[in-house]
């Protein structure tokens, strides 16, 4: 993909995205401590995660990102959203 440009806006965007992903992880960790209490919020979070994965897959395809990148990013995030939903199902007796 080439070298990452060093203009301030590029560095700003890369660091901001990393911080946003870290915050997203921290929120997910927090929600995990009370799954029953946050069930509706976690369902919403799961749907947003599924949507994010789908959107990233489309962006990667449109922008011509390398195939390994395209297959690893969007589908993995979408699968995480699906996993959240599956894990919220009531257990079968």
Rg, the chain, Cα only: 16
∠ Cα 24 25 28 (to 5°): 90
Question: Shortest CA distance to 75 belongs to which of 58, 91, 93, 92?
Answer: 58
First-residue to last-residue Cα distance in the chain: 50
In the predicted structure, residue 77 carries a pLDDT above the cut 70: yes
User: Residue written as tokens 């257990």?
Assistant: 91
When pLDDT is averaged across residues 79-93 and rounded to a whole number, the result is 87
CA distance 61 to 71: 10
pLDDT digits (tens, 9 = 90+) for 24-54: 999 999 999 999 999 999 999 999 999 999 9
In the predicted structure, residue 93 carries a pLDDT above the cut 70: no
Given pLDDT bands bounded at 50, 70 and 90, which one contains residue 90?
A: confident
Asked whether the whole model's pTM tops 0.85, one would answer no
């Amino acid at each position: 993909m080439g070298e990452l440009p060093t203009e301030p806006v590029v560095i700003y965007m890369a660091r901001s995205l990393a911080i946003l992903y870290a915050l997203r992880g921290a929120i997910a960790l927090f929600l995990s401590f009370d799954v029953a209490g946050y069930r509706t919020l976690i369902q919403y979070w799961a749907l947003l995660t599924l949507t994010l994965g789908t959107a990233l897959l489309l962006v990667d395809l449109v922008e011509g990102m390398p195939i390994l990148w395209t297959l690893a990013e969007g589908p993995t995030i979408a699968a995480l959203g699906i996993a959240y939903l599956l894990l919220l199902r009531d257990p079968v007796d």
